[in-house]
Structure 1
Amino acid sequence: MPNLARPASPRPAAFRSASGLSAALLAAAAWAAPVHGKQAFFDPQMMFQGAGGTAIDTSRFERGNLMEPGLHRLDIYVNGQWRGVEEIQFRLLAGSDGATPCYDGELLARLGLDTDKAARGDGMLALSATAACGELSRYVPGAQVKLEAAEQKLYLTVPKYYLRLATPGAYVDPSNWDSGVTAARLNYNSNLFTSDSRGTRTTRGYAGLNAGINLGAFRLRHYGSATWSPGHGASYQRGYTYLKTDVPAWKSQLLMGESSTEGDLFDSVSFRGVQLVSDERMLPSALRSYTPTVRGTATSNAQVSVYQRGYLVYETTVAPGPFAIEDLQAAGYGGDLDVRIVEADGSSRSFVVPFATTVQLLRPGTSRYSLTAGRAIDLGMGSSSQYLLQGTFKRGLGDMYTGYGGLAFSRHYGSVLAGAAVNTQIGAFAADVTLSRADLPDEGTRTGASYRLSYSKNLPNSGTNFSLLAYRYSTSGFVGLRESIALQGTPQRYRWFGDMGRTRGRFDANISQQLGTNGGNVYLSGSAIQYWQGRSNTINFALGYSNRWRDVSYSFGVQRMQNLATRTSYRGGGRDNSTLITLNLSIPLGRAERGAPTLNTYYSADSRAGANVTTSVAGTMGESDRGTYSVSASHASRENANSASANIGYRLPQAWVGAGISQGSGYRQASLNASGGVLAHAGGVTFSQTLGETVALVRADHAEGAQIGYGGDRLDGRGYGVVASLSPYQLNTVDIDPRDIPDDVELQASSRNVAPRAGAVVLLSYPTRVARPVLIDGRQADGAALPFGAEVLDAANDKPLGAVGQGSRIVMRVEQDRGRVIVRWGPGPQQRCAIDYALPERTRQRDQGYDELSLTCAPMPADGGGPASPGPLARR
């Protein structure tokens, strides 16, 4: 969300205009001076005070962005993108009013600049290891620097050519990734359910738990669940437990403990051991997914535009000669890229770069890998203590090709996989073969092969998207890793090779078709499977259509399902088929922008269960639509039974809570549920919504009630709050909305940038100042108005408090209930006066507003003395 300024309690116009005066003048000076010292001019006539008015000295506003010499920590932005916080050396050069930033090659490299290219620029100097001070354009052609001293921000604008890689999005250099603070965390998801069905009462409680501890860059995690019922008491089921950390140098995650292997090339298997897996989130966003390199040649300084499905997705200017666009980010499952080159003389030419993608395609020169070693654990198919070793590797070999392979071993089992993916004019293909050898108890040695071919293509002209067409064929002797481990751990009386339901051939399809602009969308997804050992073939599919007319949405679907989960069906026995037809209609009961509820009608006809129709009304309520509700009524034709239900939920700052009731023929049900997160840290314990993988702990002392992030969560009474989800390794901006904080609390920063490491709990501190807001209607001793724009200083320390606004009014914040301020509009002793103030007593309560005083500004003698008593108190 954008930085949010605090709207004040109802205040007069003078309050608003006066409070903005200093900021307006300083902002104008800042934009007038790129780094420091260049003069901005303010016409004194624009601040004419009328007859008898006093002119003011505006010279202090004309020297913008002056920085003291020394080391300063600044937020650095390159071409508008935050690149981290750096300590920048400032030195005072001859002829400068303020200190100048210094740069070295290592700093610019961290910021993403290609210093070698910059050094080859015409007449440019090469940066050495020692810091060089002065204009950055001396070292990087065309570079510009802008300093915001008040915000402690330094903005660099650099031609794209001199960046190592133009990375769209919010990529941050690894040196600026934040490991977070030490903290303990807990997610819970609890439910209490009770039902009374034909005189039989059932009560059951459940709590799903996800606990962890963060220490430095290491994350300890444990998953489990607890259940309770009156007849059986309480029990706990243990899930995965592991210790995890990232390895930035390898762009990988290291895990020690219990988890599961990746399932894209081999079967996914649960294990206890060690795993090292590449993490593409650490890469610039342009390298995370496959997009072809656009290559061409320009005869002049040309504009290159890239379109996908008629939308402009990229545009740049290139120099004469060959060019390659490697940082392109296109959308979805592909769609050919239309490239247009417009030369300096206006001539143009176009060509097409084919683009379709599969999960295996990678950018040229990028790699993905995984390596797992340990013992297989409970797989849901019997326990095992067999060792497990599995590794996979993928490599982008060129603009169109990716190669991949892998190895998998366990006791009495081995397999090897090799494959390739290619992007062609007619779509993206991936093909691989897996060879296996398994020594099975009572079955001997089985060897076999499995062949897989997949295809993906988006046809933008027709609106057709083949997101997945895949076929796999396995020979009769092929055994997968998961099957082998399960058979090794199965008792002999239950072990039969044919019972595994081994697949002979499988075809999967996922196709969607857009029917014009307003014609809706048709989709088809399904699978056809053939089995060995005489097991019946299966065909499962779903066909549907959806569309929208004005605010009314509707859909139609057909599903065909076959359930072969019984042992008899494994041996070619019975078949349990069903066909489901569904209709859905959704109508808003009012204007959507007003939070109107929605009427939903759902009809289903099942070949086994009969027809069912449900009508419901659902909507949101409360502040920021925090609450949800729904009421529904259903009728089942087969049993000729009616039922009704009602559900309600509310998103508290500390948790989500809900309740539901239902009643039908012969039964009643009721449930209560709650979910959320708990974060224990050095400042105490903070409750929140369910915690994501990576979170921010926000601290703003005394700012109770301030809203943070997008979800409407607020700071608690100690000034702590949680942003429950951040994107790791990317720039995240976390803002505070100060509208609901106490009036005597000033938030001195409302936005923070952070690039957390995965799993981190990052601490974001926002400085605050407890000071009472005061509006003074000030006059000089002779009753004349104070000079417009005059500076207001704290007499105790010369700290600026504000400026005189329109109508001779002063808006300021003071930390003491009694004190003196100096009003100064020039360098001479006759160009200043003093105001002594005494504020009325007040208790610390929220929303007390500001204090209004009418006071006299008394002349100050040459010795700096002042009036002995304050002017009269007017009103609060």
Structure 2
Amino acid sequence: MSRKIIKTHNNKLTYIASFCALLLSPCAISAEHVEYDNTFLMGQDASNIDLSRYTEGNPTLPGVYDVSVYVNDQPVISQNISFITLEGKKNAQACITLKNLLQFHINQPDIKDENAILLQREEELGDCLDLGNVIPQASVHYDVNDQRLDINVPQAWVMKNYQNYVDPSLWENGINAAMLSYNVNAYHSEIPDRKNDSVYAAFNGGINLGAWRLRATGNYNWMTDADTNYDFQNRYLQRDLASLRSQLVVGESYTTGETFDSVSIRGVRLYSDSRMLPPTLASFAPIIHGVANTNAKVTITQGGYKIYETTVPPGAFVIDDVSPSGYGSDLIVTIEESDGTKRTFSQPFSSVVQMLRPGVGRWDISAGKILKDDIQNEPNLFQASYYYGLNNLLTGYTGIQITDNNYTAGLLGLGLNTTYGAFSVDVTHSDVQIPDDKTYRGQSYRLSWNKLFEDTRTSLNIAAYRYSTQNYLGLNDALTLIDEVKHPEQDLEPKNMRNYSRMKNQVTVSINQPLKYGKEDYGSFYLSGSWSDYWASGQNNTNYSLGYSNSASWGSYSISAQRSRDQDGDNEDSIYLSFSIPIEKLLGTEHRNSGFQTIDTQLSSDFDGSNQLSISSSGFSDDNRISYSVNTGYSMMKSSDDLSYIGGYASYESPWGTLASSVSASSDNSRQISFNTDGGFVLHSGGLTFSNDSFSDSDTLAVIQAPGAKGARINYGNSTVDRWGYGVTNALSPYHENRIALDINGLENDVELKSTSAVAVPRQGSVVFAGFETVQGQSAIMNIKRTDGKNIPFAADIYDENGNIIGNVGQGGQAFVRGIEQQGNIRINWLDEGKPVTCLAHYQQSAAPEKIAQSIILNGISCQIK
């Protein structure tokens, strides 16, 4: 476990720890009373050093310290703990509150005796407890050298099953705030005799008031020669219900797709949230692999809605930050090259049942009006599902769907946990009345398997088979067919059950295989694909993506193959071979922290006479805020002239968001240019704070306040503290302890942080506040001598003209102080044979003072004994 030493309001801690080590005393390991003999100290002023603070164990000064907390010798948490001064005690004591006990997973005692309170404080801070008084045989010990706080209590007082779990009383609603996240992509392309422009903008906005979160998402689409489209989605009001360990959503949302087809509704949804339980259950999200031949626009849609768009440079790309709307609906990925050609493929997206622990239940209830743009009559829906852990081997689950337009479906399933993997098998029965036709009843059978083979590390993430009888209809198919029967299109054959294409068989598989033998690493292999056929149609659909990658002493390489569909709907198989070589390997130079880093080469073929070669180089700036790449390529086309192109890409992480642009030109006189920006901001009581990370409507945020700490980087995401002392970070995990930390290496101002980390336990969708206390003011290294030529005693206190302590004297009369003016007076106090001594000095900065980092150096300061 790593630990950071945190500066307090003065620097005595550093001097005292060093002094203690020099004395080789047992002060770090014993709390017994120890007498020190000054005659063992050397130097003319040795007798003037006050050693009384070292007589009772570790010398600890009052303040806030970042400590590692151990309970019964087991690590629990690292966080800030206040240390307070008590009458009759020379060393500060840890202030342990009732809230702290919950954080440390210690049962709360009844506080009946006033002697159990060491110090009464404001209600929001909590009283400091005398732990030995309220818990029999409890003890607290702090080791200042290791910054370790040991708490020992009888085992009966330790909470059971607390790992990765935080007591609900510590969950934070956060502050009242409004937020908006945005992603804007503008794309311009020129093909001979044609120009195309498009703008896509996605927004996630919301307002937090107490425990309630109001959210709305929307997107704007504009294209040349097409209607402008602006669409609002997912407008809802949400809050959690801690007593039910569940979430309540009122408004527009998606039903779960774990049991039935996922559909959008406007109504009410109540579902259990497993993140509130120990241990947490991970959620599934797809990772999309693809290859772009040029600077390309990649769009991802689900259920007819665009949910993601970005621009990628030539070469293989991986998209791992897509947030699908719900399970059960595949993702359609479209790659639009700079010359206007398009390729699409389907990313299977379904989930096998999650096994539950014995006695644990999980439910999901939805009721409301179905929202489906491609039908004219949108019925009302009631849907419910329930999972229950029967024992260590079996999990049972069931569900029901009912609409008011004569559709009913019921599901019954069983999950089995075995040494051969996790299996689930279920059957869904549907009953639908087609207008002017009979009632159709059918079944759909599904078998799923999930397995990690330990010996070979083969991960079979999802392997599923589904068979549907001829008369089975899922909800989406039933809604579409009923609508088409009621409202037939002119000049088209009327739809009925006999000619309506619907799925018959479907198989999906996803495999990841690392290739290791002993300590040797031979790379990794992946495979994902799906196959399906349909009733009332002789068509079938096959998608696959497979690849192998490895690294060598000279760089890395990969080979992959993929099937997609071209813009005419025909299958297109392609193979790709790529190499990535660090530039220093080519030039034989030392590794560089910035500049162009690699040269990447890619070869591709579609097995039909079209071949491509592309070469690119990429790099970034010293602070990683600027990234850039250049690329060139040559294409040999079967059905058209050969083509060459050149292009470039650059991005910049600004305080207001990430800005990116790409440009390319081809030998056929086609051109492409794109601009992209994404980010967000939060409006709170302290003002408007921007983030260069965008966030979704379900993300949990934190507003950081660190006055004067401009430039300090926040550990979650890529944001920094702005000029007003605020920062925003996202991707916090709700209902878990999140350690928010500041990296002081990026500080632009001369400021000292009393602590560099804070712990937050946010609720879902909340905006929590994390305040960092800072000490601002010019820092200086002073070299001080007494006018009589003697040294000032070690650890003497230094005060400014207002009586504030600003530092301590170190060895040889050198002192680090903070908060000085252009010129002024200081007062230095120490004890000489038990009597107080005061020394006065004047300082003045020069016009161009010498500096170490941001601290100025003041030499030749004379101190006159008063």
TM-score (norm 1): 0.76
**1:391 alignment partner, one of 384, 388, 402:** 384
**1:102 Cα deviation (Å)?**
7.8
**2:781 alignment partner, one of 762, 775, 780:** 775
Partner in structure 2 of residue 621 of structure 1: 621
**1:450 alignment partner, one of 444, 453, 474:** 444
Partner in structure 2 of residue 649 of structure 1: 651
Q: Residues 768-798 of structure 1: CA distance to partner in whole angstroms, max 9, x if unpaired?
A: 223332333333342111122334455754x
Partner in structure 2 of residue 597 of structure 1: 597
Matches within 5 A, 1:628-777: 628-638=628-638, 639=640, 640-664=642-666, 665-692=668-695, 693-709=699-715, 711=717, 713-741=719-747, 744-777=750-783
**1:532 alignment partner, one of 525, 535, 540:** 535
Q: Distance in 2 between matches of 1:519 and 1:397?
A: 42
Amino acid at match of 1:273: G
Amino acid at match of 1:397: L
CA contact (8 A) 1:17 1:805 kept: no
Partner in structure 1 of residue 267 of structure 2: 273
CA contact (8 A) 1:4 1:735 kept: no
**2:183 alignment partner, one of 189, 212, 231:** 189
Partner in structure 2 of residue 501 of structure 1: 501
Structure 2 regions of 5+ residues with no counterpart? Answer: 117-128, 285-350, 490-494, 586-590
Q: Distance in 1 between matches of 2:96 and 2:602?
A: 67
Q: Distance in 1 between matches of 2:267 and 2:85?
A: 51
Q: Distance in 2 between matches of 1:289 and 1:164?
A: 27
Amino acid at match of 1:164: M
**1:61 Cα deviation (Å)?**
3.6
- Aligned residues, how many? 757
Partner in structure 1 of residue 55 of structure 2: 62
**1:407 alignment partner, one of 383, 391, 400:** 400
Change (3 A) 1:423 1:848: closer
Q: Residues 664-707 of structure 1: CA distance to partner in whole angstroms, max 9, x if unpaired?
A: 21311212221111222222212211333112211122222333
CA contact (8 A) 2:708 2:749 kept: no
Amino acid at match of 2:678: S
Q: Distance in 1 between matches of 2:827 and 2:469?
A: 90
CA contact (8 A) 1:366 1:395 kept: yes
- Is it true that 1:130 corresponds to 2:112 in the alignment? yes
Partner in structure 1 of residue 487 of structure 2: 492
CA contact (8 A) 1:646 1:660 kept: yes
Q: Residues 717-773 of structure 1: CA distance to partner in whole angstroms, max 9, x if unpaired?
A: 211122233222222222223345466533222221111112122221111223332
Secondary structure of the structure 1 residue equivalent to 2:375: coil
Change (3 A) 1:243 1:836: same
CA contact (8 A) 1:377 1:384 kept: no
**1:841 Cα deviation (Å)?**
8.5
CA contact (8 A) 2:81 2:95 kept: no
Change (3 A) 1:161 1:416: farther
**1:445 Cα deviation (Å)?**
0.9
CA contact (8 A) 2:707 2:773 kept: yes
Q: Residues 566-599 of structure 1: CA distance to partner in whole angstroms, max 9, x if unpaired?
A: 9xxxxxxxx9433322322222222667455222
Secondary structure of the structure 2 residue equivalent to 1:209: strand
**2:75 alignment partner, one of 59, 76, 80:** 80
**1:267 Cα deviation (Å)?**
0.4
CA contact (8 A) 2:618 2:627 kept: no
Q: Distance in 1 between matches of 2:482 and 2:367?
A: 18
Secondary structure of the structure 1 residue equivalent to 2:476: helix
Q: Distance in 2 between matches of 1:103 and 1:722?
A: 29
Secondary structure of the structure 2 residue equivalent to 1:730: coil
Q: Distance in 1 between matches of 2:789 and 2:83?
A: 49
Partner in structure 2 of residue 572 of structure 1: none
**1:656 Cα deviation (Å)?**
0.8
Q: Distance in 1 between matches of 2:499 and 2:433?
A: 17
**1:500 Cα deviation (Å)?**
4.4
Change (3 A) 1:598 1:45: farther
Q: Distance in 2 between matches of 1:629 and 1:100?
A: 53
Secondary structure of the structure 2 residue equivalent to 1:624: coil
Q: Residues 210-232 of structure 1: CA distance to partner in whole angstroms, max 9, x if unpaired?
A: 11111122211111122345766
**1:282 alignment partner, one of 266, 276, 293:** 276
Amino acid at match of 1:540: N
Matches within 5 A, 1:38-187: 38-39=32-33, 44=38, 47-50=41-44, 53-63=46-56, 78=71, 79-82=74-77, 108=101, 111-113=104-106, 128=110, 130=112, 133=116, 144-147=139-142, 155-157=150-152, 163-169=158-164, 171-187=165-181
Partner in structure 2 of residue 316 of structure 1: none
Identical counterparts, % of pairs: 30
TM-score (norm 2): 0.77
**1:555 alignment partner, one of 548, 558, 562:** 558
**1:430 alignment partner, one of 411, 416, 424:** 424
**2:855 alignment partner, one of 836, 841, 849:** 849
Partner in structure 1 of residue 828 of structure 2: 822
Q: Distance in 1 between matches of 2:112 and 2:545?
A: 66
Change (3 A) 1:603 1:841: closer
Amino acid at match of 2:410: V
Secondary structure of the structure 2 residue equivalent to 1:714: coil
Q: Distance in 2 between matches of 1:768 and 1:88?
A: 17
Partner in structure 2 of residue 241 of structure 1: 235
Change (3 A) 1:64 1:236: farther
Q: Residues 209-260 of structure 1: CA distance to partner in whole angstroms, max 9, x if unpaired?
A: 1111111222111111223457668542222211111222222221111121
Amino acid at match of 2:112: T
**1:410 Cα deviation (Å)?**
0.9
Amino acid at match of 1:662: S
CA contact (8 A) 2:616 2:629 kept: no
Structure 1 regions of 5+ residues with no counterpart? Answer: 8-15, 116-126, 291-356, 567-574, 861-876
Change (3 A) 1:36 1:362: same
**1:536 Cα deviation (Å)?**
2.9
**1:206 Cα deviation (Å)?**
2.6
Q: Residues 238-288 of structure 1: CA distance to partner in whole angstroms, max 9, x if unpaired?
A: 222111112222222211111211111110111111111222222234666
Partner in structure 2 of residue 336 of structure 1: none
- Is it true that 1:470 corresponds to 2:453 in the alignment? no
Q: Distance in 1 between matches of 2:282 and 2:193?
A: 58
Partner in structure 2 of residue 874 of structure 1: none
Change (3 A) 1:752 1:432: same
- Is it true that 1:808 corresponds to 2:837 in the alignment? no
Deviates most, 746-755 or 521-530: 521-530
Partner in structure 1 of residue 346 of structure 2: none
**1:544 alignment partner, one of 543, 547, 556:** 547
Change (3 A) 1:675 1:101: closer
**1:85 Cα deviation (Å)?**
8.8
Q: Residues 520-547 of structure 1: CA distance to partner in whole angstroms, max 9, x if unpaired?
A: 3344333332322243344433443333
Q: Residues 423-455 of structure 1: CA distance to partner in whole angstroms, max 9, x if unpaired?
A: 223322111111111112233211111111112
Amino acid at match of 2:548: Y
Matches within 5 A, 1:328-347: none
**1:855 Cα deviation (Å)?**
3.5
Q: Distance in 2 between matches of 1:476 and 1:279?
A: 37
CA contact (8 A) 1:743 1:849 kept: no
Amino acid at match of 2:504: R
Cα RMSD for the two superposed structures: 4.3
**1:26 Cα deviation (Å)?**
8.5
Change (3 A) 1:671 1:844: farther
**1:657 Cα deviation (Å)?**
0.8
Q: Distance in 2 between matches of 1:586 and 1:148?
A: 49
CA contact (8 A) 2:714 2:729 kept: yes
Q: Distance in 1 between matches of 2:664 and 2:428?
A: 51
Secondary structure of the structure 1 residue equivalent to 2:812: helix
